[in-house]
Amino acid sequence: MAHPDIAFIGAGNMAQAIIGGLIADGYPRERLIAAEPQPDQRESVEDRHGIRTVADNRAAVDNGQVVILAVKPQILRAVCQAIGPSVQAGHPLVISVAAGVCARDISRWLGNHVALIRVMPNSPALIGAGVAGMFANDLVDTAQRALAERLMRAVGSVVWLEDEALLDPVTAISGSGPAYFFLLMEIMVEVGAEMGLSRDAARKLTTETALGAAKMALLSERDLAVLRQQVTSPGGTTEAAIRTFEREDLRGIVRAALVAARDRGIEIADTFGSD
C-alpha cells in the first residue's frame, strides 16, 4: 500500500500542514480528500493544495483507507460517533491529532475494534520542522505503524511511545514547548531593546542564536549540560547570566510549568472522555 487513500476530517492548520508536507514529499493529490463544513475553508484548501474536499465527513471516510482526525477536541466525540458506521464498515487506520483525547474514548466513540494511532504534533509542523509523539493501540499492525510514521515524517520527526500516558509529558514538552521558547525569545528581544539595540537587531540576534543552539544540540552527541559548560567560561559573561538563572531557580520554574502543562492535559482528557 504505497499510497493509500487518506481522508482528513477537518482542514485546519495541522491538517493542511500534513497535506502540504505529503504533497511536497511526492504524495499523489488524487489520493487525498478533506472534509470541512466551512465552504470558504474548502475553497482555500482546494486552491492551495489542489485536492478534493467535501462537506460531509462520512463521504470522506467512505473514500479513505487512512482517516486522520484533525478536529478540535471538544467536537471529537460528536464527529467520531457520526462517522463510526463508516469506520466499522471500511476498517481504515485511524490517526488522531486531536490533543488530549484518549485512544480508548476515540475507539469507543467509533464503535470499538479500531486500529488507532494517537499523534501529538507541534506547531513547527507548519513549516516541516515539527516533532510528534506517537502511540498505537494493540490493533495497529507493523505495516500500519510504518505507514503512519512515513506520513508524519512529511512534516518533521517522530518519537514512538509504548505507553499512552507518556503523551501527556510529550504535550508538556514538545506540544506546548514552542510557546516556551517564543516567550524566552520575546523577553530577550525586549531586554536587548532596553539595552539600546534596535528591535530588528535584537530579534535577529535572538532568533539566529536560538536556531544555532538548537542545531548544535541536534548535531552533537554530547550531553546538553556539556554543551552549556563549553560556552560558559569561568568568570565570564555567560557564567554571570547562568548564576543568575540558578539563583532565581529557573530549573524550578520550568519544572513547575511542565508539570502544570502535563496535569492540565490529563484534566482535559478526563473532561472530553467523560460520558
CATH number at residue 158: 3.40.50.720
Query: Is residue 91 domain-shared with residue 155, that is, in the same domain?
Result: yes
Query: Is residue 222 domain-shared with residue 111, that is, in the same domain?
Result: no
User: Is 117 inside any structural domain?
Assistant: yes
Query: Is residue 94 domain-shared with residue 196, that is, in the same domain?
Result: no
The last residue of a domain, from among 123, 145, 165: 165
User: Is 274 inside any structural domain?
Assistant: no
Query: Is residue 21 domain-shared with residue 142, that is, in the same domain?
Result: yes
User: Is 275 inside any structural domain?
Assistant: no
The residues, ordered by sequence, that sit 6+ positions from 164 with a Cβ below 8 Å of its Cβ are: 102, 103, 118, 135
User: Is 56 inside any structural domain?
Assistant: yes
Contact 94, 105 (CB under 8 A): no
User: Could you tell me how far CA 118 lies from the centroid of its own chain?
Assistant: 11
Q: So what's the pLDDT on residue 1? A: 57
Enumerate the β-bridge partners of residue 67. 7, 94
Sheet strands (E) in 45-125: 52-54, 66-69, 93-96, 116-120
The residues, ordered by sequence, that sit 6+ positions from 68 with a Cβ below 8 Å of its Cβ are: 6, 7, 8, 9, 15, 18, 95, 96, 97
What is the reported pTM? 0.91
**Boundaries of domain holding 19:** 6-165
pLDDT by 10-residue block (mean), the chain, 275 residues: 91 94 94 95 95 96 95 94 96 94 95 96 94 97 96 96 96 96 98 98 98 97 96 96 97 98 90 72
Query: Is residue 44 domain-shared with residue 104, that is, in the same domain?
Result: yes
Query: Is residue 229 domain-shared with residue 101, that is, in the same domain?
Result: no
Query: Is residue 194 domain-shared with residue 241, that is, in the same domain?
Result: yes
